Structure 1
């Protein structure tokens, strides 16, 4: 019976991969050793699988170099690349599985700015006279057991009706459409804003060119970001998506989860209203808080 014999070229590639992996065995940190070994195995297998050409490998190096050069204090092109490849959402799923009735998390995105001002309950995060459809957001922060959490911090941010965040637009004041709110003794919070709009992610850099080359659009479904935190509970990063947005099923960064789609209801005063209940997981499973 004839044995399967690896051809000389394949044998050499296998030996190269094995040599690299053997060198990594000296890595003192076991987790770093595990991650780097897996990375090498998959990278080498990818190159073999597609028959990676030298000019293609070099084009990839140039692309990554341009991605780094595009990063600024207010724009993280590598996060954008991770987002558009679905990697950010995958890592989020791995790190924050939906369990025990807790509100599902979503990706942070590249435009979060820490230190937004605390605002009074019911205050608007939008500048006076801003165009856009008025929206009232109310809700409750509670444990997965349904117990209200007083003093929880609800940190919110979104784009303006022109599709830009304040850090992208010199015409917007600092911390425009951003704010932090504390829940009352009943765990309630409320704030006023304008209906979010869909907007394109920055497409004038290498990530935008990659999207165009692969026949994809750069649009994100309309949304409002939230980070909700409270002592004794896991901090939640999540998003409210407009279920009626035209890009809800083709969000450019794969960030829409079905449980995070919301329908904005028409209120008696003609504006829109959303009631959003947040459930936080306790830091310890047996917590009764």
Structure 2
């Protein structure tokens, strides 16, 4: 949907769309937001114009991303309230500092910062363990980490559990699409689904023997006889973002899942 098409939609239409996306009835939302069902119905049908505060209140209850909250305000005739500053802006100095500290502190383990469309924003030196496996064209900015991970010229041939890891990443992407309704993410999902995979992809993530989370198993030296490293990953976000750029940043940190991986990464860091 283009911006012009978006702003042709009424605020009632957009709120109803988000409510239905969250699989909530008018009664559910009214109770959760502590507003009358009658008033909510009038807002959705255009019989009542919501205040700016009401729009933001309903958007908060519906967990609408900040970018889309601005779209709701514009559709109702109000000015946007959430800024979208470049990471290079002076005001973003504390954010840059916090990100740099997190990346550095995570060495010698890989960690990367990505934006809402999975493009690489920053990374620590240890992520070279992954990027060195990819064809140069996949490393031209903007680097999309999902494309890098699943492309046949990227990490995919070196991921020992590609079917399992691919299913996990695509599942995460689908959840993000459900949350944001981002058309660009839908296109990315369709692209990634078209990549070849010679392993079965589980429809449901079930733990293997001894697994507590979906692991990433990478052949570090790029061939079957190399070191097989096993990682668990965590995702961090800023807890109270009021800027769109900050809200859409996430930091993915990889931790060694066994002693052999930890020892390999420690030894590798001493050589560089």
- Fold-level match, TM-score > 0.5? no
What is the TM-score normalised by the length of structure 1?
Answer: 0.20
Q: Quick check: which one's strand share is greater? A: 1
Q: Quick check: which one's helix share is greater? A: 2
Higher-Rg structure is: 1
What is the TM-score normalised by the length of structure 2?
Answer: 0.21
